[in-house]
Chains A and B, each alone.
Chain A
Amino acid sequence: MNVLTRRVASSTLVISRGWLLELRQLMRSRLYLVTAVILPLVFASLAHYMFAGSHRTEGPLVIALSAGLMGMWSTTLMGSGSAINRLRFMQVLEPLVACPTSTFLFSVPFALATASMGIYSLGATLVWSTLFFGMPVELASPLLFAVALLVTVVSLALLGLLLASAFILYPTAQSLANFFEYPIWMLSGVLVPVSSLPEPVRYLADVLAPSWGVKAIMRSATGEGGTLPAVLACSLLSVLYALITLILLRRFEWLARSSGTLALQ
């Protein structure tokens, strides 16, 4: 038990410092910073015009939230995926894999870093919506909202990581992730309510952790209840993702060593 505690403690330290260093790197990329400022603005105006020109019954808060979540999806999912390719491009993928700790340990920080940028993106969209478009942000339950947001972001990071594990093997998998972006928006109830989707597709939405997260966020914001069950579903699915990723990463690392694709070619 003592060994286990120590392992967990040291892993937590490794992950949190990796997270900070990863954020530091992102902050030093001018291109990244510019997109991080502009994207939420784009999403906020999108939300505004969507609201103004439609007969949707949801309140302005829900619309602003939807737009913010779209931004969060993009930032997080794309971020984790491209991070592996960035490492390969920088030629640090091989030295990282050559470390005795598991591949999971160096992958989690960049997933978390992009997820943090995702939270920021959501927050910024809400702020712009309030400032420029007069969409009041009044949360029914700020505490639950914060919890739901946190859980959602972690689930997004882990989903991104799950997809990213394939990137270790396939340098061309970026197009795969781009391909996933829109279907997952749909499934997560960001663009349209999941209930309006055909039935088989709805089941698919149920196994996506972030779609539960989105539900939890919406419910805590509007105060309609049922936040905690959604948070729970999101957390359980996230743990499942982490386990699958652990297994896949090991398998993919083996395959990448066999094909020689850890190196930049």
Chain B
Amino acid sequence: MSDYAIELDNLSRVFRAGQGKTKRAVDQLSLRIERGEMFGLLGPNGAGKTSTVKILMTVLLPTSGHARILGDDVVAQVERVRRRTGVILGGDAGLYARLSARDNLLLFADLYGIPYREQKRRIGELLDMVGLLKSERTRVEAFSRGMKQRLHIARGLLHDPEVVILDEPSNGIDPVGARELRELVRGTVRDGRTVLMTTHYMFEADELCDRVAVMRGGRKIAEGTPESLKKQTDGQVVLSLDIIGVGEPDLDRLRLLPGVGSLSVAEVDGSQRLDLHCDQQTDVTAAVMAELRHLNVLRVSKREPTLEDAYISLVSGGDDA
């Protein structure tokens, strides 16, 4: 019996990408998640989070490496893994749209082998927990995005799994709904479950997770408590510029400046917001302005790095895979 709830050993998944090319969605990923832990897998779109989740839920085979849930191999011991793992893929689809919430749960309760006598009670409890008891007879096609997401959660917990895996639970949900969802997710760990959730919001991982791993290009680029990731930006300041017409050659020159760590660009109302993560010791403002003198700089400010900056500095630094 393994000591870990979830264990990944050099897990890789390669997809065929057409024209003889291949895409390495998950690349030599290794993780150890303790029982009872709430673990966050963090990364931008395309980082390989969903592919990792699908390997763990046994609907996708790894190309190489191993993954074990509660000691059971996700390739060799499929049935045991399926019995003890609940997966919440979420999203707008993934449910029987023409059936009611209750019918959706009944159908899956059958497939999870939940005894007839217990089904009614279990489904009632779960519908109550996710706040859908009043809409249990409504067809899912009439549900809002948030309601569907809550039904996904209820379905994932039907068989009272020891390990729960959630893929971007609050993606596409309004802020209020997202907060309620996080409350629900927090509730699932309380009963001693192990939870692995993916997200591309650092604050969400910070709010919910004991530990996080950050992925980029299929690889793990950082791991630790949210606090320790935040510490990576200790001794840094963020130089923030609103600017018009900044291009890749400018960014390349900026990256070479001594004292500039990583940088990120975002479009904001017709201008660009350029965030430079800089060393506190060296004031790079003058050097940066000199490099950008041919451009129209609207505003310059300096601030302390936030948690989001720590994340951005991680996923935007270094070479892309």
Contacts and interface: CB of A to CB of B under 8 A. Distances in A.
B107 interface: yes
Interface stretch (B57-65, B276-284, B296-304, B305-313): B57-65
A14 interface: yes
Which 8 residue pairs across A and B have the least CB separation, nearest first? A99-B111, A91-B93, A100-B82, A14-B110, A28-B98, A91-B94, A25-B98, A94-B59
Contacts of B112: 99-101
A56 B232 CA distance: 87
Name the residue in B59, B113, B139 with the highest tally of chain A Cβ atoms < 10 Å from its Cβ: B59
Interface stretch (B83-91, B205-213, B215-223): B83-91
A165 B218 CA distance: 32
A18 B110 CA distance: 8
Contact of A92 (B57, B82, B94): B94
Interface residues of A, number: 30
Given A94-B54, A263-B54, A258 B61 contact: yes
B97 interface: yes
Contacts of B99: 21, 24-25
Contacts of A100: 79, 82-83, 111-113
B29 to A, nearest CB: 17
B100 to A, nearest CB: 9
Given A257-B58, A258-B61, A101 B93 contact: no
Residue with the greatest number of chain A CB neighbours at <10 A, chosen from B98, B112, B155: B98
B96 A10 contact: no
B114 to A, nearest CB: 10
Interface string B70-83: 00000000010011
B108 interface: yes
Interface string A254-265: 100110101110
Contacts of B91: 91
Interface of A: 10, 13-14, 17-18, 21, 24-25, 28-29, 90-92, 94-101, 105-106, 254, 257-258, 260, 262-264
Contacts of A95: 87, 89, 94, 108, 155
Q: Classify chain B's interface size.
A: 20 to 34
Contacts of B113: 10, 100-101
15 contacts: A13-B110, A18-B110, A21-B99, A21-B103, A25-B96, A90-B96, A94-B57, A95-B108, A98-B87, A100-B111, A101-B111, A257-B59, A260-B54, A262-B60, A263-B59
Contacts of A92: 93-96
Contacts of A90: 93-97
Contacts of A257: 58-61
Contacts of B98: 24-25, 28-29
B107 A17 contact: yes
Given A92-B93, A100-B113, A257-B61, 4 more contacts: A90-B95, A94-B59, A97-B58, A257-B58
Given A28-B98, A260-B15, A14 B54 contact: no
B321 to A, nearest CB: 19
A68 B155 CA distance: 41
Nearest to B57: A98
Given A14-B111, A90-B97, A97 B59 contact: yes
Contacts of A101: 111-113
A98 B82 contact: yes
Interface in B109-141: 110-113, 116, 139
Nearest to A98: B57
Contact of B111 (A29, A105, A262): A105
Most chain B CB within 10 A, of A29, A92, A258, is at A92
Contacts of B95: 90, 92
B251 interface: no
Given A18-B110, A21-B103, A262-B59, A94 B96 contact: no
A215 B107 CA distance: 36
B103 A24 contact: yes
A98 B96 CA distance: 16
Given A14-B110, A105-B111, A99 B60 contact: no
A18 B83 CA distance: 20
A123 to B, nearest CB: 24
B85 to A, nearest CB: 8
B230 to A, nearest CB: 35
A264 B94 CA distance: 10
Contact of A99 (B15, B82, B96, B103): B82
The winner among A14, A29, A260 for most chain B CB atoms within 10 A is: A260
B138 to A, nearest CB: 13
Contact of B110 (A17, A91, A254, A264): A17
Contacts of B61: 254, 257-258
Contacts of A14: 110-111
Contacts of B54: 94, 260, 263
B246 interface: no
A17 B99 CA distance: 13
A260 B103 contact: no
